[in-house]
Structure 1
Amino acid sequence: MLPSINPQIRPDGRQSQTAAAIQKGVCRHLRAAGFATLTEFTLASGRRVDVIGLSPSGQIWIVEIKSSLEDFRADLKWPEYRDFCDRLYFAITTDLAPEIMPAEAGLIVADAWGAEVQRDPAEHLLHASRRKAMTLSFARSAALRLHGLYDPEMM
């Protein structure tokens, strides 16, 4: 008889406690809406997004987490994410002023228990070839992460 495997996912430790709470709430919200999510997902450009979601219909959303005003001011890379998703959102806590977030992106307010979309962005549909590449990359990343839980020596 094979031994029971009970993989444990550990926080990656890259985020502050606030950012980790926002991430958890955003992922819970998207999952409840039917999305599959991945965190710390690397795009073909080499940039890493905080959360990427894949809807049942194939829509791709990217959510950039901002845990403080300083975090937002230091981030100059977020406009590059636009080319890799159908919708781009910022996710913030209730402590951050929503009016500082760019109007061209959507807005989500989140905590560790959930999230609420405050503003949807204009939809900017991906080209079919980019959508296919992103969907395949999402699937491979998810499968490799799952395998890594069961066989950590392969990571």
Structure 2
Amino acid sequence: MASLSQILGQIYTMAMLFFSILLLELAILVRGAARRSITTDQFLKIVDQKAPAGRYAAGILGFDAAAECSVCLSPYEEGDEVRKLKCNHTFHKGCVDTWLQQDSATCPLCRRPVLPIDVVVKHRNHRLQEYYDGGDEELMIMLYALHGNFLRRFS
């Protein structure tokens, strides 16, 4: 009778462990679906749609003759790739793209939004995921704690 009790205890432990792992996998799945994010490449494509880049040419309407990028403070040279935002401020493409990715996607000069806030939030979520890619560790610790409690219960 004692061996039957041990076998039933082990079956119970294995069943609880199986369901714990199943719940953990479901939690990871739901958590991943809730964290919709935009990669940096997708973010830059959206920036290109909202404010396409072009080549700088002195004397062309829309560009100042003695213009300089307000981010890097370097003067524009013929053929430089520049991005003109809706607020009519112009910057080197690389400079303003880096600026837009950093925080809230606003013009460096007038702080007018360049992208909708939902795009900015989704990109920020992606950046946070890159820095904190160990988010499932808490769930694994919980599983380990559950596993340890089940084993002690039947030892």
Q: TM-score, normalised by structure 1?
A: 0.24
Q: TM-score, normalised by structure 2?
A: 0.24
Q: Give the structure with higher Rg (CA).
A: 2
Whichever structure has more strand as a proportion of its residues is 1
Whichever structure has more helix as a proportion of its residues is 2
